[in-house]
Amino acid sequence: MNKIALFCLGAALFLIGLTPASAQVSTPKYSNEFLNIGIGARALGMGNVQAAITEDAMAGYWNPAGLLRLKQKYNVGLMHSELFAGIAKNDFASFATPLDSSSALAVSVIRLGVDDIADTRRLQNEFGYIQYDSIRFFSVADYAMLLSYARRSNLIEGLQLGVNAKIIYRNVGEFANAWGFGVDAGAQLQRGTWQFGVMAKDITTTFTAWTHNMEALEDTYLQTGNALPSNTAELTLPRLVLGVGKSVRFSDKLSALVATDVDFTFDGKRNVLLKSDVVSVDPHLGLELAYANTVFVRGGFNNYQETRSFNGDMTKRVQPNFGVGFKTHGLNIDLALSRMNDSERGGVSGVNSSSVIVSLGYSFN
Who wins on pLDDT, 23 or 201? 201
- Beta strands 232-236 and 24-26 are parallel
DSSP letter string over 111-165?
EEEEEEEEE-TTSB-TTS-B-GGG-EEEEEEEEEEEEEEEEE-SSSTTEEEEEEE
Q: Is pLDDT of 239 > 70?
A: yes
Query: Which of the two residues, 344 and 255, has the higher pLDDT score?
Result: 255
What is 272-290 written as a DSSP string? SSEE-SS-EEEEEEEEEEE
Q: What's the confidence (pLDDT) of residue 194?
A: 97
* Angstrom distances, CA of residue 29 to CA of 26, 38, 198, 235, 271: 10, 18, 22, 9, 12
Q: How many domains does the chain have?
A: 1
CB 203 within 8 A of CB 45: no
d(CA 255, CA 69): 19
Q: How long a stretch of residues is the chain?
A: 365
> pLDDT at position 340, please?
53
Please give the residue that has the higher pLDDT: either 40 or 84. Answer: 40
Kindly tell me if the per-residue pLDDT of 4 is higher than 50: no
Domain enclosing residue 125, as ranges: 2-364
How distant, in Å, are the alpha carbons of 90, 126, 191, 342, 360 from that of 94?
Answer: 14, 50, 28, 31, 11
Q: What is the pLDDT of residues 49-86, one digit of tens each?
A: 999 999 999 999 999 999 999 999 999 999 999 888 78
**Residue 11 — very low, low, confident or very high, per pLDDT cuts 50/70/90?**
very low
Say what the pLDDT of residue 14 is. Answer: 39
SS3 at position 58: coil
pTM score: 0.85
Least confident of 69-73, 190-194, 228-232: 228-232
Q: 106: closest CA among 32, 159, 163, 170? A: 163
Give mean pLDDT, residues 180-187: 96
Per residue in 267-311, pLDDT tens? 888 989 999 989 999 999 999 999 999 999 999 999 998 888 788
| CATH code of the domain covering residue 123 | 2.40.160.40
* Confidence grade of residue 3 (pLDDT, cut at 50, 70, 90): very low
Whether the pLDDT of residue 126 is over 80: the answer is no
Confidence band, pLDDT 50/70/90 cuts, at residue 128? confident
pLDDT band (50, 70, 90) for residue 352: low
CA distance 164 to 61: 8
Quick one: pLDDT at residue 2?
Answer: 44
Supply the pLDDT for residue 75. 97
Q: Which residue has the higher pLDDT, 87 or 13?
A: 87
Query: Which band of pLDDT confidence, cut at 50, 70 and 90, is reported for residue 136?
Result: confident
- Per-residue pLDDT band at 253 (split at 50, 70, 90): very high
- E strand or H helix that includes residue 351: none
Buried b / exposed e over 162-179, threshold 16 CB at 10 Å, is bbbbbebebbbbebbbbb
Average pLDDT over all residues of the chain:
86
